[in-house]
Structure 1
């Protein structure tokens, strides 16, 4: 895509500075896009298309850019998630991605190590938030989450952001009968999730997939025996966690704290 931008900029007889001034951005960012050091945003491609008279060629690259937001493993997961019959996850550190608020998501990326550039943060926030549409598509997926109680205490982005996030979780549960959130109490010393977080998808064709992320990268579990092992583990987690009603009551108490 960067080469295409450079090509059309040359055909328009514009310098990088000229294009940057027209699009109200830095010359260095235009250069980074052209050298493929950064993935262009949707807005950049659409606006550059108009500014350079590309007649839709650059704008048509938006779909390609969307795929480049994700690693190949996660892209496969994302595509399956968009049409899954059921979505399940056990989270140990964060509120599940499909339930995260914009402020919570941005706070996560702003404290990442190594740090992201502001443009990269915007791109990742956009990608994370667009996935939330999965919750309300039709037919509705059955969504089940188990989260560690410590997640409710971790003030990512500050107390105000956390309170807004907890309120959003409560609203999501109350307004969607296909969504269940359960809390694993900290006092539960031993349970089935001590090996770490996990995610599960079931397709409408009956295929099951598992996904796990760690410091060393991500693993996609597609073989039936691997996915079934994670399904069994998640079933045990749900049995060991607080009930959905107990969990809502706990989240309400946490959200009401001063």
Structure 2
């Protein structure tokens, strides 16, 4: 989600707040308060959590189309939300080709990510995100990099177990990505501590490491992502240099699901992955 637009930092970027998002959020909040509703009460009416309502109102999250359509009648049927939603935009940090996926990702009930280039953005530390930003030309200026990193860290709210329902995450990371020591030993040490902490604190997050030596490997075609919506519809996403593709064809998605299932069987089990990460941490 960067080149995965969720993973790295220099190529695609993260969802970032924009004036239009903040303005839309302010309109939602004003209409909600005028209707005498709490965030939790509006959440029940639009079938999203109160945390999602808060994120929309604060301009941190692009509202899903279903949110807009359900909120409109709940907040007076003025037509203001539909009209305002048509003008929503993010700051340039989010690659245009990634926007559709980002909107789906925000509402996903399950998300599967195989990554062989960088640690996905949802699992990055601030220092690692900065190191990635400084690795991929063209280099950002300080203001752009600060905004990008802040947005990436804020986006990690998606991992929260307070979401209803919490999103089920599966990550498969190549050991080589961690052995690269992006940013140096100190950055890598902090990153490994962070990964272990995420695995310990978030029961909805499963991390598997693909070992360096794996003669048969189902991921040789590159990184991939799969997600499931609340309506149990599946989407996939693949990405390369300066481009990405949202995949909706069921046959293509089925092929990628088969590959991801094979990758899970080829990677180390979660408990063995924890042991490997601890050994790597101890060796630094």
The two structures have a TM-score, normalised by structure 2, of: 0.67
Does residue 226 in structure 1 map to residue 239 in structure 2?
Answer: no
CA RMSD of aligned residues (A): 2.6
Structure 1 unmatched ranges of 5 or more: 1-40, 46-59
Query: 1:178 aligns to what?
Result: 204
127, 133, 143: which one pairs with 1:119? 143
Query: 1:159 aligns to what?
Result: 185
Contact 2:166 2:204 in 1 (8 A): yes
Deviations 1:170-221 (A, max 9, x none): 1101111111111111110221001111111111101111111112511111
Does residue 217 in structure 1 map to residue 254 in structure 2?
Answer: no
Query: 1:107 aligns to what?
Result: 131
Query: 2:224 aligns to what?
Result: 198
Greater Cα radius of gyration, structure 1 or 2: 1
TM-fit CA distance, 1:65:
5.2
Contact 2:17 2:91 in 1 (8 A): no
Contact 1:193 1:233 in 2 (8 A): yes
Residue-pair matches, total: 207
Query: 2:112 aligns to what?
Result: 88
Does residue 208 in structure 1 map to residue 208 in structure 2?
Answer: no
Structure 2 unmatched ranges of 5 or more: 1-15, 20-57, 63-87
Question: Residues 252 and 225 from structure 1, CA distance in 2 versus in 1: closer, same or farther, beyond 3 angstroms?
Answer: same
225, 239, 252: which one pairs with 2:278? 252
Query: 1:27 aligns to what?
Result: none
For the residue of structure 2 that corresponds to 1:166, the secondary structure is helix
TM-fit CA distance, 1:250:
0.2
87, 93, 113: which one pairs with 1:69? 93
Deviations 1:117-152 (A, max 9, x none): 222212221222222110003321110011111112
Question: Residues 61 and 84 from structure 1, CA distance in 2 versus in 1: closer, same or farther, beyond 3 angstroms?
Answer: closer
For the residue of structure 2 that corresponds to 1:104, the secondary structure is helix
The two structures have a TM-score, normalised by structure 1, of: 0.73
**Aligned ranges for residues 50-61 of structure 1 at < 5 Å?**
none
Contact 1:152 1:251 in 2 (8 A): no
Q: Tell me which moved more, 97-106 or 107-116.
A: 107-116
Query: 2:159 aligns to what?
Result: 135
Greater fraction of residues in helix? 1
Distance 1:152 1:208 in 2: 29
